[in-house]
Amino acid sequence: MGSGTSTQHHFAFQNAERAFKAAALIQRWYRRYMARLEMRRRCTWSIFQSIEYAGEQDQVKLHGFFSYLMDHFTPSSHNERDFLSRIFTEERFAQDSKMEKCSDYESIEVPDSYRGPRLSFPLLPDHATALVEAFRLKQQLHARYVLNLLYETKKHLVQLPNINRVSTCYSEEITVCGDLHGQLDDLIFIFYKNGLPSPERSYVFNGDFVDRGKDSVEILMILFAFMLVYPKEFHLNRGNHEDHMVNLRYGFTKEVMNKYKIHGKEILRTLKDVFCWLPLATLIDEKVLILHGGVSDITDLELLDKIERCKIVSIMRCNTRQKSEKMEEQRKANQKSSAQGPIPWFLPQSRSLPSSPHRLGPYQAHKSSRSSSIPCGGSLDGRELSQQVRSSVELELERCRQQAGLLVTEEKEEPSCSASETDSDTEELQKPTQEEWRQVVDILWSDPMAQEGCKANTIRGGGCYFGPDVTEQLLQKYNLQFLIRSHECKPEGYEFCHNRKVLTIFSASNYYEVGSNRGAYVKLGPALTPHIVQYQANKATHTLTMRQRISRVEESALRALREKLFAHSSDLLIEFKKRDVDKVGLITLSDWAAAVESVLHLGLPWRMLRSQLVNSSADNMLEYQSWLKNLAKEQLSRENIQSSLLETLYRNRSNLETIFRIIDSDHSGFISLDEFRQTWKLFSSHMNIDVTDDCICDLARSIDFNKDGHIDINEFLEAFRLVEKSCPEGYASECPQATNAEDSGCSSPGAR
Amino acid sequence: MADEKDREEIVVAEFHKKIKEAFEVFDHESTNTVDVREIGTIIRSLGCCPSEGELHDLIAEIEEEEPTGYIRFEKFLPVMTEILLERRYRPIPEDVLLRAFEVLDTAKRGFLTKDELIKYMSEEGEPFSQEEMEEMLSAAIDPESNSVNYKDYISMMVTDEN
């Protein structure tokens, strides 16, 4: 009978054991689930980051191409000269008499119906606060006030040194914010959570206020207003996106022209001036150095203090003094191979992307040494090679000339010097020296790396990668405690590296996609110890579980990746065929991964991503032709366009859009068919894109919807659904459906 | 004989590539090392489902003589390859998982209350950390009933994975 209790015990023990085991099983399963989720999150991040940096590389290459043309092309007619020089004449704008009359805003009338904020100068704190409130309510500041504010901003900036020196004894604390990239919600959140700027509350904004997000204008207005109101407590550093050439590609130019249809051009012109007068760095208590990108092994703060920073208008078009001299030599002498120099990237021989053979991810591939120069801005020494290049360029241009009918027809009243002839002495002095230019580019474009040393930043195309030794060297040389920089998106909004001597702070939350990352800002207390505050300025994400958040972001990344794959269909097919030795139309999944990497060079973990990009086929073999077809089906929007052409356009759509905007130097929104064809021809031949002339002509003609010989930029992009798919609400209405671009002012009420 | 050897070599080569990829996702700075705390994630993402205890044993195997907090790829690769070849730590089939929940659901209601879930997950087996617990609750618990219908929960998680 004792068995009764002992059986009970026995069962109890068994039950307990079973419960224990069951729990352990569930936990084991759950932990695996979470691990896979984490892996997906990281892969997604890799996708976004590698695509982003590849885009930046593209941008630099594009401008390198135009710069090269600029230096080496001898125009044979005024038309040609005009065409090319118009692309590069932005500096001439400064001499434009129109620019002198900055105070033109006074003539702009503000209608009574305008309900937005009205500014008067000198600005009062209330004005600045009112601006924040107005923008939160989605109002738009009238162009007159925009220009007025910009004018006053420039007047203020001119007085500031290159390196702002700030002391903490006046304000209790200093808050440093990183990239905002047009994300107004984040800025408003920061002010809400941390408090508005005041004499007791100092702020430093570390560059990249504009581009990508949809409210860059509003952010600038707020930042400039507070700077004018609290000049001693509110500080701005220049970022690499405070650069009108970069803005052409990354959306700020587009935003301004969309929001300010009449005065947009003027605003952009004025902004160009304002940007180049932004200070380069801020130094707190002589101990903490804040700058946008990073440093290099040649960073010299004393030199940086002295240069005329306004001379560096844009990284993309460095017309340095030395370079002009070299051009002179080249023009006069015959090509002699004297100095050493790398092959310009756009020559057929060197067409492959720079650097790493196996991993060209954003985190990796710091393989090229410093000596391999980045074409943009570097001087191209005379070589035998350039002789060949020159003649091949000329041959191309000859063809284009004939095609475009650009023979000498009319003489214009122009200064007789061509773009590549010597400028006057005063203009010479306007230009920065090579070294000055390098110093600034390093500050704005560099990224830290784990390894020691200093290498060219080939991923971005500007600046360098700097190691912990470079940081240490700099900190010791100038007796500093640590560096604060931005420039790179981080999942947590911040990241320490180099033994906590470098802090990256990034303030644009949900940068790649809703839920992709947090934003952060850092407060420096009395001992200058950093205190980080994180946030995510989107209520929607709070209600989602981690799983759902990751899924959303992942979907977005995969979509972008599939687009990229489609854009390289032809190359992919070639690679697949190479591996299909028996010509059966099948390759292994392992081959698929290798092929894709060899074409895209994104350094992504393809095997991990495979299940989401490829529907598994039998036996682990892939029918690659039908896979490519499926990709195309997703992307193609018009059947009558030759698919290879579309694919080419897709691959180059950012470049295309940028080319458009460069050619359209007066921001009218139109370029002529000829201009388009000529430029595209030059560009594509040097990128070894094989497109027949007929195709181009057909294409150009078919997108000229109203047959007036002009192409409207937005119409062109829309026609191929190349306008950003994830149009923010405001832009969705701005994405024009109107055929007459003149009033494609889709005036939608919730226009932001 | 030779054919089989070839096939095995191909399989091993493919495993090597997979392992390298997974490792590199966590090796941001190309140092061929990863933080030891990430090893569990890497191993699990390669298709394995070890318990915490098994994981600890594994780590002990691949750690340095004097633990540095980092795992080197050279040590990780052969061990992980073995695991994959032997198909160790296989994932848990859906029906087994369901039965585990049913064991905990002594009253056979088809669901577990929030408190019950917390009790089992934080006190039994290899207990969850607070973070893990919170994360599971956020996705599993239906706020209205304050319980988890485990059959639905499993289906949701499984479809999500695929």
- Say how far apart CA A292 and CA A751 lie, in whole Å: 31
The answer to whether A450 contacts chain B (CB < 8 Å) is yes
Note whether A4 and A11 are within 8 A (CB). Answer: no
- Say how far apart CA B111 and CA B132 lie, in whole Å: 20
For residue A172, CA distances in Å to A169, A285, A452, A613 come to 7, 13, 37, 53
For residue A343, CA distances in Å to A58, A178, A470 come to 17, 37, 28
B19 to chain A: which residues are within 8 Å by CB? none
Of A549, A551, A557, A535, residue with least CA distance to A185: A535
The answer to whether B151 contacts chain A (CB < 8 Å) is no
Backbone φ and ψ of A485, nearest 5°:
-140, 175
The answer to whether A343 contacts chain B (CB < 8 Å) is no
Q: Which two tokens stand for residue A734?
A: 């701005």
Q: Do B22 and A608 touch (CB under 8 A)?
A: yes
Say how many C-beta atoms besides its own lie within 10 A of residue B155's C-beta.
13
Q: Which two tokens stand for residue B18?
A: 């997979």
**Among candidates A359, A451, A547 on the partner chain, residue whose Cβ is nearest the Cβ of B160:** A547
Chain B window 3-62: which residues touch A at a Cβ cutoff of 8 Å? 13-14, 17-18, 21-22, 24-26, 28-31, 40-45, 48-52
The answer to whether A32 contacts chain B (CB < 8 Å) is yes
Q: Do A34 and B132 touch (CB under 8 A)?
A: yes
Cα nearest neighbour of A361 on chain B: B28
Q: Do B132 and A449 touch (CB under 8 A)?
A: no
Q: What amino acid is encoded at A573 in this protein?
A: L
Q: Do B135 and A363 touch (CB under 8 A)?
A: no
Task: Give me the residues of chain A with pLDDT under 70, please.
Answer: 1-5, 55-103, 170-171, 316-430, 538-546, 616-618, 635-653, 655-656, 659, 662-663, 665-666, 678-707, 713-752
Torsion from C-alpha of A253, A255, A261, A263, nearest 10 degrees: -60
Q: Do A590 and B126 touch (CB under 8 A)?
A: no
Instruction: Summarize pLDDT for A245-275 with one digit per residue, the tens.
Output: 788 778 898 899 889 988 888 898 899 889 9
Which residue spans within A667-707 are E strands per DSSP?
A: 670-672
The CA distance from B82 to the nearest CA of chain A, in Å, is 19
What is the mean pLDDT of the segment spanning B107-119? Answer: 92
Q: Do A36 and B31 touch (CB under 8 A)?
A: no
- Give the model's pLDDT for residue A239: 95
A596 to chain B: which residues are within 8 Å by CB? none
**Among candidates B21, B100, B138 on the partner chain, residue whose Cβ is nearest the Cβ of A545:** B138
For residue A361, CA distances in Å to A301, A314, A519, A572, B29 come to 31, 26, 23, 19, 10
Cα nearest neighbour of A34 on chain B: B41
Q: What amino acid is encoded at B57 in this protein?
A: D
Cα nearest neighbour of B51 on chain A: A28
SS3 of A165, please? strand
Q: Do B103 and A22 touch (CB under 8 A)?
A: yes
How would you classify the pairing of strands A464-466 and A447-448?
parallel
**Among candidates B31, B43, B124 on the partner chain, residue whose Cβ is nearest the Cβ of A23:** B124
The CA distance from B92 to the nearest CA of chain A, in Å, is 7
For residue A425, CA distances in Å to A66, A253, A321, B37 come to 24, 32, 11, 63
| Residue-averaged pLDDT of chain A | 73
SS3 of A362, please? coil
Q: Give the residue numbers of A marked as catalytic.
A: 241
For residue A272, CA distances in Å to A208, A252, A672, B70 come to 14, 12, 25, 48
- Say how far apart CA A164 and CA A288 lie, in whole Å: 12
Cα nearest neighbour of B48 on chain A: A32
Q: Do A25 and B96 touch (CB under 8 A)?
A: yes
SS3 of A367, please? coil
For residue A236, CA distances in Å to A189, A208, A318, A522 come to 18, 10, 24, 15
Q: Do A24 and B51 touch (CB under 8 A)?
A: yes
Q: Do B44 and A22 touch (CB under 8 A)?
A: no
The H or E element spanning position A504 is strand A502-505
Chain A window 356-385: which residues touch B at a Cβ cutoff of 8 Å? 359, 363-364, 366
Q: Do A32 and B91 touch (CB under 8 A)?
A: yes
Mutate to test the interface with B, among A15, A18, A39, A367 (most CBs of B within 10 A): A39
The CA distance from A18 to the nearest CA of chain B, in Å, is 7
Residues written for chain A: 752
Cα nearest neighbour of B52 on chain A: A28
To the nearest whole percent, how much of chain A has pLDDT over 90?
32
The CA distance from A69 to the nearest CA of chain B, in Å, is 37
The answer to whether A17 contacts chain B (CB < 8 Å) is no
Q: Which two tokens stand for residue A163?
A: 């390196």
Q: Do A605 and B25 touch (CB under 8 A)?
A: yes
- Give the model's pLDDT for residue A355: 29
- Give the model's pLDDT for residue A106: 79
Chain B window 86-105: which residues touch A at a Cβ cutoff of 8 Å? 91-92, 96-97, 99-101, 103-104
ipTM score of complex: 0.94
The CA distance from B84 to the nearest CA of chain A, in Å, is 15
Backbone φ and ψ of A111, nearest 5°:
-70, 155
SS3 of B162, please? coil
Note whether A490 and A536 are within 8 A (CB). Answer: no
The answer to whether B153 contacts chain A (CB < 8 Å) is no
A19 to chain B: which residues are within 8 Å by CB? 103-104, 120, 124
Note whether A281 and A290 are within 8 A (CB). Answer: yes
Bridge partner list, A235: A204
The H or E element spanning position A14 is helix A2-72
Q: What amino acid is encoded at B72 in this protein?
A: R
The answer to whether A158 contacts chain B (CB < 8 Å) is no
Note whether A80 and A679 are within 8 A (CB). Answer: no
Chain A window 308-327: which residues touch B at a Cβ cutoff of 8 Å? none
The answer to whether A12 contacts chain B (CB < 8 Å) is no
To the nearest whole percent, how much of chain B has pLDDT over 90?
56
Of A7, A15, A29, residue with least CA distance to B104: A15
Provide the b/e sequence for A16-38 (b: ≥16 CB within 10 Å): eeebbebbbbbbbbbbbbbbbbb
Instruction: Summarize pLDDT for A584-626 with one digit per residue, the tens.
Output: 888 888 899 999 999 888 888 888 888 888 876 667 788 888 8
Say how many C-beta atoms besides its own lie within 10 A of residue B146's C-beta.
11
The answer to whether B64 contacts chain A (CB < 8 Å) is no
Cα nearest neighbour of B139 on chain A: A545
- Say how far apart CA A544 and CA A497 lie, in whole Å: 31
The answer to whether A38 contacts chain B (CB < 8 Å) is yes
Q: Quick one: residue A411, left, alpha or beta (phi over 0 = left, psi -120 to 50 = alpha)?
A: beta
SS3 of A749, please? coil
Q: Do B125 and A33 touch (CB under 8 A)?
A: no
A590 to chain B: which residues are within 8 Å by CB? 13-14, 17
- Give the model's pLDDT for residue A503: 97
The answer to whether A459 contacts chain B (CB < 8 Å) is no
Cα nearest neighbour of B27 on chain A: A363
CB pairs < 8 Å spanning A and B: 133
